[in-house]
Chains A and B, each alone.
Chain A
Amino acid sequence: MIASHDSAGLWTLAWRRLRADRIAMAALAVVGACLLLVLLSGLGLVADDWEREVALNYAPPTFVGADPGARALAQAQLPRATPPNAFDPLAAELAELKAQLAATDPPLEKRTTLPFGADKWGHDIVKKTIKGGQTSIVVGLVAALLAVTLGTLFGAVSGFYGGWVDDLFNWFYSVFTAIPAILMILAVAAVLQQKGVATIVLILGLTGWTGPFRLMRAEYIKHGAREYVMAADAIGASNLRRMFGHILPNVAHVALVQMSILTVGFIKAEVILSFLGFGVPVGTVSWGSMLNEAQNELILGKWWQMAAAAGAMATLVTAFSLFADALRDALDPKIK
């Protein structure tokens, strides 16, 4: 109870510094809004029906206006009645299927414009961008969590025990850093062969642990010799307890900053991997797969899908980087 009057803790102080930084708070608001959208989209409350073909192919954004003649095209695309064929052996089944389809999913007149246009299949770009963002952001966050967890674990063991354990992990580190990160990622992608969100998370997480490792190792070496750790040793705290019970809370801020920096990097990496076709499987949308489609659309003059994916990504990444910088300054005021 006395302590609370005494002085604020590291996290309270950091939060106060962060609050005073107006750019950081604005960035936090943007990141928070994005994460909320991801959560809502993940729960199926937003953009769950992005795969419905609600508009014409390449319907332009509303503020651009519909193409002349698009209305006629919309009519032409409505399902028309085909003349009955007496010899059709599947006629009965088809009629039944059609009746079922009409009951559950009545044919709708395709719209000629959408708030931010439509893609090749007439999907709503806004919903598609939200859904794609969900994939990209979740991949970035989970992969960063995996990388930081691995890096912290290795760094803790290496820095705390020292000796041959440290040598072993340092060797491991120098091997991983000798290979450029992007080459490492591509090599692992070539070996794993199967596409999927879990695969990308594994690839990025298993190759990205070196940065956090170096920093956490240095922190553990520094803290291992501090008095509070020696005191914990004196009262008989086990190695594990000292490493993760005593030291970890004092160095967790380093891991947190690393995590926010890595998330930005991994979102960018996921976009590139998915663009090349080594990332998300067919049927899953991500910002990278959107940019891949948009590259061909751009030549046709259909710029909206690229603008949506690129704009959404730039907004999130800018906000996230600004926030990561501010977080680093707030948690470690010595380094500027």
Chain B
Amino acid sequence: MLAYVLRRLWQMLPTMGGVVLLVFILFNWIGGDPAYLLAGKMADTAAIENIRRQLGTDQPYYVQLWIFVKQILTFDFGNAWSTGEPVSHIIASRLGPSLTVLVPLTLLETFFGIALALAIAFVRGSLTDRALMVACTVGMSISILVYISVFQYVFAYRLGLFPVQGWGDGLGQNLLRYALLPIIIGLAVSIAPTLRLYRSFVLDEAGQDYVRTARAKGLSERRVLWVHVLRNAAIPIITHVMASLPALLIGAFLLERFFGIPGIGREVILAVERSDFPVIKAITVYVAAATMVFNLLADLLYRAVDPRVQFK
């Protein structure tokens, strides 16, 4: 087990190195010289030289790359170019609001996705099933922008059930007051693709021999689905949930932007708007690392769900 984890971490190194290299090439090479941008409109040569020296962009590329690697390892990316706030503080303070929305959203989405997928599996092939799948396809075709705009307009602006925008200080207040509508919208947007995917996972299992055996033993359909099928369909579901978690951190940027939630996603959008490279670089590298770690966690979870899985 420990040997497996260590080997997997070791295997991540080349990929992580590639991510660092890719981000470095994008921002330090293609991105061009940031000194002109930072020096402002009335810049003289001395000021530009000074900024270059501070950022290290007057050094050769291999020195710059080493600076970048040191920044990643020490979690110290310096200050954001636009606001002067330390990048590490930006990430640390924006993570909380993002998670306040994402953790309940992921839990609810997974729960409803599994429950509905199993319920549909009872009536597979029927008109209800087909109608629901068409409804899912239509629901997926409507842009997330429309969902957010319309829900925000109707439920917050018109009916006044929720605050239109905003964020507070306390976790309880945020969760119950400000994060509620974003979570509902996130659920409405994600339930259609999730349901379609989980339904295919469940139906893949429903045709297996062990299901026939379970039915032949006289087990109720309910027990067959909820116990036997679910346990086996859990592996692709875990993969899906774990793989989508880090992406969701960024993927919720539209919700965060519309509702003024000071999360990671909104920070990325702001950084892109202001060409604030240190912030984007830091978030990209750490999200990539999180993606890889979550993939490893997913593999470890398989073992807990399915004892037949062997770590090789």
Query: A: which residues have CB within 8 A of B?
Result: 171-172, 174-176, 178-184, 186-193, 268, 271-272, 275-278, 287-288, 291, 294-295, 298-299, 306, 310, 313-318, 321-322
Contact = CB atoms under 8 A, between A and B. Distances in A.
If over half of A's interface residues share one DSSP class (helix, strand or loop), that class is named, otherwise mixed; here it is: helix
26 contacts: A171-B14, A172-B18, A174-B15, A175-B18, A176-B22, A178-B291, A178-B292, A179-B19, A180-B251, A182-B250, A182-B251, A183-B247, A183-B284, A186-B269, A186-B280, A190-B272, A193-B275, A287-B143, A295-B145, A295-B149, A299-B157, A310-B146, A314-B138, A314-B141, A315-B141, A317-B141
Interface in B268-284: 268-269, 271-273, 275, 277, 280, 283-284
* Shortest Cβ-Cβ A-B pairs, 6 listed: A175-B18, A180-B247, A317-B141, A318-B141, A190-B272, A310-B146
A294 B138 CA distance: 21
B137 interface: yes
B133 to A, nearest CB: 10
B247 A310 contact: no
Chain B CB within 10 A, most for which of A171, A182, A187, A310: A187
A334 to B, nearest CB: 14
A178 B272 contact: no
Contacts of A298: 149-150, 153
A184 B281 CA distance: 11
Interface of B: 14-16, 18-19, 21-23, 26-27, 30-31, 137-138, 140-146, 149-150, 153, 157, 246-247, 250-251, 253-254, 257, 268-269, 271-273, 275, 277, 280, 283-284, 287-288, 291-292
B138 A178 contact: no
A187 B284 contact: yes
A322 B137 contact: yes
A275 B153 contact: no
Given A171-B14, A174-B15, A276-B269, 17 more contacts: A179-B284, A179-B288, A180-B251, A186-B268, A187-B272, A188-B26, A268-B143, A299-B157, A310-B142, A310-B143, A313-B141, A314-B141, A315-B141, A318-B137, A321-B137, A321-B140, A322-B137
B142 A299 contact: no
Contacts of A314: 138, 141-143, 146
B23 A313 contact: no
